[in-house]
Copies of this chain bind each other. A is one copy, B any other.
């Protein structure tokens, strides 16, 4: 009954062009979308050595890892993998953005988080993926067979150490999100999201006041535990208060980033009580 309308493009990947390649077995991967990466190129698992899995690797190891990977380009709104599917691959988002979503039996959706260029998705010790991953924009992903990655862990513990590091950081970010969903008001939640976008931009050396929302109001609602109407109302309120300017629906300019940051940290006016 809830927000499922309009998501017809998020149906199972087997019905979508381009993703069928992903679901194919490793052995028979079609040449169209999947190809071996040139080992002399930069690590295919990483868009940026800063945030990726292979930051601590030297050139030799990079080449070795690159040989194990396959690069795939995906259209916006494509399912990368589906909640409940066998977790055969670990994916690195080389370009573009994606989101991780859990769906309840009655259609309620909850976005675990958004992922941006350079980040990793789909690593799990369980048999199946515990959530679905969908591209938000045009995206290039790089995938490696999970068993091969585990083999690499044995050969090069430094990669496993790096994975532990990424996992622990993601855990910390998820705990932050827990606080947002557990104790923040609608305004604080939206501010926290905008603030996290700023942080993601800054980590990639891009503008921190011009934000391109990667998602619809409904997507933001799923991420923040709100309805799309509430997200819209909050953004309007921010605009009226002069905190932001909306250029179209997706481009947001922060006029008072500090005020937003303050709200995002839960230090808003209500703290003055």
Secondary structure dominating the interface of A: helix
125-140 of chain A: CB within 8 A of chain B: 125-126, 130-131
Residues on B with C-beta less than 8 A from A84 are none
A29 to B253 Cα, complex, angstroms: 54
The verdict on A270 contacting B106 (CB below 8 Å), with A124-B172, A131-B175, A165-B125 known, is yes
Pick out which of these stretches binds chain B: A6-14, A66-74, A153-161, A229-237: A153-161
A102 to B265 Cα, complex, angstroms: 12
Instruction: Tell yes or no: A259 within 8 A of B by CB.
Output: no
Q: Flag if A266 contacts B108 (CB, 8 Å).
A: yes
Count of identical protomers in the assembly: 2
Pick out which of these stretches binds chain B: A37-45, A50-58, A178-186, A202-210: A178-186
Q: Flag if A266 contacts B130 (CB, 8 Å).
A: no
Residues on B with C-beta less than 8 A from A104 are 179, 183, 265-266, 271
Q: What count of chain A residues pass the 8 Å CB interface test?
A: 46
106-136 of chain A: CB within 8 A of chain B: 106, 108-110, 112, 123-126, 130-131
Q: Which of B126, B168, B182 contacts A181 (CB 8 A)?
A: B182
The verdict on A168 contacting B266 (CB below 8 Å), with A102-B175, A174-B175, A271-B105 known, is no
Residues on B with C-beta less than 8 A from A179 are 102, 104, 110
Seen from chain A, the residues whose Cβ lies within 8 Å of a Cβ on chain B are 1, 102, 104-106, 108-110, 112, 123-126, 130-131, 153-154, 157, 160-161, 163-165, 167-172, 174-175, 177-179, 181-183, 222, 224-225, 265-267, 270-271, 273
